Amino acid sequence: MASQLRLRFALALVTGAGSGIGRAVGVRLAAEGATVAACDLDGAAARETVRLLGGPGSDEGAPRGAHAAFQADVSEAGAVRRLLDQVQACFSRPPSVVVSCAGITRDEFLLHMSEDDWDKVIAVNLKGIFLVTQAAAQALVSSGCPGSIINISSIVGKVGNVGQTNYAASKAGVVGLTQTAARELGRHGIRCNSVLPGFIKTPMTQKVPQKVLDKVTGMIPMGHMGDPEDVADVVAFLASEDSGYITGASVEVTGGLFM
């Protein structure tokens, strides 16, 4: 739980905010005082997150100071541009904290993976983060505001995972993209960091067969899968000035898996 309102001046845009890690991030940032713009491909899920934060859950914007929900597909350049425009119109400023949690899996062994499954995962997990990071950074630089951009990668991007060539490649790409953005944007006062979760209990991992989860859990030094809130704790730290001299970092939240 948040012990202080470290983010009381922050406007936080969270993508993938309708489920799992993104929803937990929205809840945590709001608990630390941030105003949250919750975005998801599933607009109803984003509105439900805003309802959990105590906001009106409106697609059309928010009353002054309130949280708001937005529907957007992060893999579409036009949709991401519209999203940033809508958020700025709604709150009269660009988001100072941007957390990209939107992500998908389309698992298959390399020998059988279709081009479509490759393209979809790269489009959402990697191109989506490029589009959101670029649009948010452009808005911050043109308004002269500092910011913190946090991109959710995965430990799988570092070590690979059977059946996930597409996903592992996308998540490794997120780390390289984020480090490069950190190098380019530091002089504008914009920090960029990635978070590498291990195996976290969300709808995404509910699709993994139980015997695979049991095997992985047996390899985790902490002895159990993580909760979305474990990731949200780290995101809140990276969003806040408590991490003011950290940029280009990749923080693992894995319970020690693959250390």
Ligand X SMILES: NC(=O)c1ccc[n+]([C@@H]2O[C@H](COP(=O)([O-])OP(=O)(O)OC[C@H]3O[C@@H](n4cnc5c(N)ncnc54)[C@H](O)[C@@H]3O)[C@@H](O)[C@H]2O)c1
Select the residue interacting with ligand X from 101, 131, 132, 235 (CB under 6 A): 101
- Tell me how far apart the alpha carbons of residues 25 and 37 are, in angstroms, rounded to a whole number: 11
Residues 185-214, one symbol each (x = binds ligand X by CB under 6 A, - = not), give: ------------x-xx-xxxx---------
Contacts of ligand X in 123-182 (CB under 6 A): 124, 128, 152, 154
Q: Would you state the structure tokens that stand for residue 132, as one six-digit string?
A: 């959101």
45 binds ligand X, rule: CB under 6 A: yes
> Does an H or E element contain 56, and which?
none
Contact (Cβ atoms closer than 8 angstroms) between residue 65 and residue 35:
yes
Amino acid at 94: P
Min. distance of Cβ 188 from ligand X in angstroms? 25
207 has which bridge partners? none
Q: Which is nearer to ligand X, 5 or 219 (CB)?
A: 219
Strand-pairing partners, residue 191, are: 148
- By C-beta, is 78 or 188 nearer to ligand X? 78
Beta bridge partners of 100: 15, 151
Among 21, 84, 97, 177, binds ligand X (CB under 6 A): 21
103 binds ligand X (CB under 6 A): yes
> Which residues are known to be catalytic?
167
Listed in sequence order, the residues at least 6 apart from 207 whose beta carbon sits closer than 8 Å to its beta carbon are 105
Q: Candidates 11-19, 29-37, 50-58, 175-183: pick the segment binding ligand X (CB under 6 A).
A: 11-19
| CA distances to 31, 136, 158, 190, 242 from 145, in Å | 23, 11, 32, 8, 18
Residues forming contacts to ligand X in the complex (CB under 6 A) are 15-16, 18-22, 40-42, 45, 73-75, 101-104, 124, 128, 152, 154, 197, 199-200, 202-205
